[in-house]
Structure 1
Amino acid sequence: MMSFYCRGDCGQDVDINQATGIFEEILRSGENPTVVTYSIYIRGLCKVGSVAAALQFIRECRYRKLPLNSYCFNSVIYEFCQRGAVHEALEVFQEMRSSGVLPDVCSYMYNWRILQTGIRRQALEILNSMLQRCGVLPNTITCNFIIDGLCREGRFMEALTLLEEFQDQGIDLNSHSYNAVICSLCKRGYLKWAWELLPRMMKRNVLPGVVNYTTLIDAFAKQSHLKKALWLYTKMLKVGVSPNTITYTVLINIFCRVGKMHEAFGFYKKMIEDGLNPDHISYTSLIAGFCSTGDMRRAWVVFQEMLRKGLLPDVFTYTCLIDGFCKLNRIDSASFLFDEMNRKAVNPSVVTYTILIAWYRKHGYADQAHRLYREMRIKGISPDDITHTVYFGRR
């Protein structure tokens, strides 16, 4: 019954008054409640917001030398974290340790919530204590969560140190554990450090996976290190790591950006041969590439294939095609696509309007240019400097 009233089972709300009555009745009967009963009651108090009462109950239990477990403390820690009362949560952590109760995996998770608030020194001290003295090891998912959180805050060196400390403690980590650090380093331009993590992973008996290689390939491509990106692709094939859709899309995009459409289309075909389905980005990259090289026939073929696959073009896809057709003076095709955007509720961007306005102004169709200019203003799309230049003829 205690569980029923404290957990709110069967769709019922938590009834802490009923739970308190049952608990007091147990004590009057002379029975000794188990630690499970205590933990359920404490959780019930926390659920109704009586975290102060829950903490006082824990302290009374400690004073009377009644058994407590990590669940009792975790409920209070969690509730304080939810309220942003991280100093209080830290105090409960300290009480848990001083009472001889070992933290568990949930304690790691809640400690991480404290770490995220900026009270780093105390939280890291607790984390290190849990690792070194308490003998409590987080699982792989918890470790990945902590590492990822540190990396999101840009604290990748702390993340890497903690990651290797986890492994020194015998925790099994995987390629995803390292990828958070690799991704964080790549985003900040530290490609050399990110690159050097691959051999470090292998020394730790963690085999780099497709996500690790793809992250690095994409980072090197964005820094215009095409040869290194391709070397990594060759390397991953040699060690038996199969590319996925994202890998191929990154490679397609690399070659499309430099106008090497034969190579880009080759990776597209290889993707299909490997039984992978190109996604919206794969198709749009190819379309943009063919449009930029003036090959509108092939751009249109890829566009139709994209539609047959049930993938919806976005504003960027349409804008690339419209720009390509305008450059070839195929205003009929460009207008058809513009009208199709409106029919399919794909909102044109300022770039889309500017491309069409520029074509109409250049070829002497002032009325059409004026109509589009007014239309974009009515839709709340603000013209940029380029729009004003092509529309008003400013130099």
Structure 2
Amino acid sequence: MKRVLTYVAMDSNLRCPVANLVSLVEESGFNNEPNFVEKLCDMLFRVYADCNLFEEGCDKMEACLGLFKRMVEFNVEVTVYSLTIVIDGLCKRWRVKRAKDLMIEMASKGIKPNVVTYNTLINAYIKRMDFEGVNEMLRLMEVDKVEYNAATYTLLIDWHGSSGKIDEVERVFEEMREKGIKADIHVYTVVINWNCKIGNTKRAFALFDELAEKGLVANVHTYGALIDGVCKAGEMEAAEILVNEMQTQGLDVNQLIYNTLIDGYCKRGLIEEAFKVQVIMEKKGFENDIYTLNTIADGLRKLNQPEEAKRWLLTMIEKGVVPNVVSYTTLIDIYCKEGDFVEAKKLFQEMKNAGGKPNAVTFNVLIDGYSKKGRMNEAYQLRDEMRAKGIVPDIYTYTSLLHGECIFGKLDDAVELFNEVRQKGLPLNVVTYTAIISGLSKEGRSEEAFKLYDEMTEAGLTPDDRVYTSLVSSLHKT
């Protein structure tokens, strides 16, 4: 029977929604054969799920839920497998509350959720960043005495990692092993990944070395996590060794890893090496994506090659790569630094017309450009537009405005902005202090300048040469 149903499910000419098949059963008078209906309904869900045909299996979620109600009305013993499939479908459509309510409703009818059911809901809550929901599921699991499996621990490790709680990642990983649950390559990869993200490559490689002892084989994702870690640490030689090693293991380098290498070389200022990787990537059949586009452009910009960065971006856009907010922001920044505000504003408007939403960085780039040219009215208008769009001005916004006021001698306005930053509790940085100290020193207000210098050093910030030069200059003016 299962083979016949699988054949029907996989044939596009014969396939039809589960609800339609169940209606056919009803019309055929099988309602008085509960055992048959039970097995058929459960098997239909299994077949469509196994064939990855959830849409066809459920048609619409309401039809699927209606089917469930009919199955309950027929006193059909619905299995937890079918329940979990429906819950998974609801979760994928972001109807997590409805999924949880259905689980609780079915539990009251004797269909107890298993670890897979709970994992499905935990995963949905994590994706929604609903940590209260995750904790509620964990509490219910404890009440129902449902033991965690490897998948549960993997989800929890990823959850704590995304929250920056690396100690919790290690604790959960250790708890898993203490309970005798074998960690698979996926679990190891997740733990390695989060250690790499916080820069703890030593621990990541220690875990990597454990794999052979445990009889596990590293996959592309494992190598990708390690390569990302060493690239972020600027250890490009180690990255090359890992790439060669994974290829000797028969694993192909994917586009994500190529982009990671390009990013690593760009951050080290090795733009020629980045271009070599980009050429290899193209020869392997991968097209330049938006990440490749932005990474190389940013690398060129940081090497003070704005014209090359601009040419690269415009060439890639002409080749069909659709620019995003980062691409536009990089171009806007280049034009602002060149003093070409007509082109910068044109791009800013073009981005908005294309449906792109400028972020705080985009606004800050423009505000900084206008401020350095003394065009403070336009700078403040952009600050107001930021607020109108619900984007909160940050320390970089205020520093740019403050710097602009200082450059053109409006010290009282600069001091007012500085005090506003304090009132808002924004973290003052070296650049902010340097701007206001330089401004005060320029006007001979040395007492105020030295007071802020003391405040700066007490906050643990290290002044640069500009601060000392400004302070000495203020004494001469005094």
TM (norm. structure 2) is 0.55
The answer to whether the aligner puts 1:143 opposite 2:48 as a matched pair is no
| Aligned residue among 119, 126, 141 for 1:214 | 119
Match of 2:171 in 1: 266
The answer to whether the aligner puts 1:319 opposite 2:218 as a matched pair is no
Work out whether residues 217 and 229 of structure 1, in 8 Å CA contact, stay in contact via their aligned partners in 2: yes
Shift of 1:140: 4.3
Match of 2:239 in 1: 334
Shift of 1:377: 2.3
Shift of 1:319: 2.1
Distance 1:125-1:173 versus aligned 2 partners, 3 A rule = closer
Work out whether residues 151 and 181 of structure 1, in 8 Å CA contact, stay in contact via their aligned partners in 2: no
Shift of 1:139: 5.8
Q: How big is each residue's C-alpha offset from its partner over 1:265-318, in whole Å with a ceiling of 9 and x where there is no partner?
A: 222112212221112221111111111111111111222223432323232322
> What count of residue pairs does the alignment treat as equivalent?
290
Partner Cα separation in structure 1 for residue 27 and residue 121 of structure 2: 34
Match of 1:202 in 2: 107
Query: Once structures 1 and 2 are overlaid, which stretch shifts more, 295-304 or 311-320?
Result: 311-320
Match of 1:231 in 2: 136
The equivalences for 1:19-38 within 5 A come to none
Which letter does structure 2 place at the counterpart of 1:262?
D
Match of 1:117 in 2: 16
Match of 1:152 in 2: 55
Shift of 1:381: 2.3
Which letter does structure 2 place at the counterpart of 1:129?
E
Q: How big is each residue's C-alpha offset from its partner over 1:5-43, in whole Å with a ceiling of 9 and x where there is no partner?
A: xxxxxxxxxxxxxxxxxxxxxxxxxxxxxxxxxxxxxxx
Work out whether residues 306 and 312 of structure 1, in 8 Å CA contact, stay in contact via their aligned partners in 2: yes
Gaps (5+ residues) in structure 2? 301-308, 310-329, 331-478
Work out whether residues 192 and 208 of structure 2, in 8 Å CA contact, stay in contact via their aligned partners in 1: yes
Match of 2:150 in 1: 245
Structure with more relative contact order (C-alpha pairs < 8 Å, separation 6 or more): 1
The equivalences for 1:270-309 within 5 A come to 270-309=175-214
| Aligned residue among 25, 34, 37 for 1:127 | 25
The equivalences for 1:46-61 within 5 A come to none
Work out whether residues 265 and 271 of structure 2, in 8 Å CA contact, stay in contact via their aligned partners in 1: yes
Query: Once structures 1 and 2 are overlaid, which stretch shifts more, 181-190 or 354-363?
Result: 354-363
The answer to whether the aligner puts 1:179 opposite 2:79 as a matched pair is no
SS in 1 for 2:116: helix
Partner Cα separation in structure 1 for residue 77 and residue 18 of structure 2: 28
Q: How big is each residue's C-alpha offset from its partner over 1:129-158, in whole Å with a ceiling of 9 and x where there is no partner?
A: 346655464264432233454953342332
Distance 1:236-1:161 versus aligned 2 partners, 3 A rule = same
Work out whether residues 326 and 334 of structure 1, in 8 Å CA contact, stay in contact via their aligned partners in 2: yes
The equivalences for 1:67-106 within 5 A come to none
Query: Once structures 1 and 2 are overlaid, which stretch shifts more, 285-294 or 314-323?
Result: 314-323
Shift of 1:227: 2.1
Which letter does structure 2 place at the counterpart of 1:128?
E
Among all aligned residue pairs of Structure 1 and Structure 2, give the percentage whose two residues are the same amino acid: 27
RMSD: 3.1
Match of 2:456 in 1: none
Partner Cα separation in structure 2 for residue 242 and residue 301 of structure 1: 29
Work out whether residues 30 and 37 of structure 2, in 8 Å CA contact, stay in contact via their aligned partners in 1: no
SS in 1 for 2:180: coil
Distance 1:351-1:130 versus aligned 2 partners, 3 A rule = same
Q: How big is each residue's C-alpha offset from its partner over 1:246-276, in whole Å with a ceiling of 9 and x where there is no partner?
A: 1111111111222211112222112212221
Q: How big is each residue's C-alpha offset from its partner over 1:92-112, in whole Å with a ceiling of 9 and x where there is no partner?
A: xxxxxxxxxxxxxxxxxxxxx
Partner Cα separation in structure 1 for residue 61 and residue 242 of structure 2: 46
Distance 1:391-1:208 versus aligned 2 partners, 3 A rule = closer
The answer to whether the aligner puts 1:343 opposite 2:242 as a matched pair is no
